């Protein structure tokens, strides 16, 4: 079972990306290092509620 999640920048809190997550394997929130269009840098993006 997969779930659609939204990733938000940890610095400016803008919601930039969406991705799919397997909820059977990952109970904790997803974190990825992605490019933020607002900050113009690579930052940590975390899963939002």
Instruction: Give me the residue spans of the domains in the chain.
Output: 2-47
Looking at the predicted structure, is the pLDDT value of residue 26 above 90? Answer: no
Radius of gyration of the chain (CA): 11
The pLDDT of residue 24: 87
Sheet containing strand 31-36, edge to edge, reads 15-22, 2-9, 41-47, 31-36
The pLDDT of residue 36: 95
* Close Cβ partners of 4 (under 8 Å, ≥ 6 residues apart): 18, 19, 20, 21
Could you tell me if 6 and 49 are in contact, meaning their C-beta atoms sit under 8 angstroms apart?
Answer: no
Output the pTM of the full model: 0.83
Overall average pLDDT of the 23-44 stretch: 92
Fold of 2-47: Rubrerythrin, domain 2 (2.20.28)
Looking at the predicted structure, is the pLDDT value of residue 20 above 90? Answer: yes
């Amino acid at each position: 079972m997969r779930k659609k999640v939204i990733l938000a920048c940890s610095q400016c809190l803008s919601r930039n990306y969406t991705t799919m997550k397997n909820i059977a394997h990952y109970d904790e929130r997803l974190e990825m290092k992605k490019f933020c269009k607002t900050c113009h840098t690579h930052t940590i993006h975390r899963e939002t509620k």
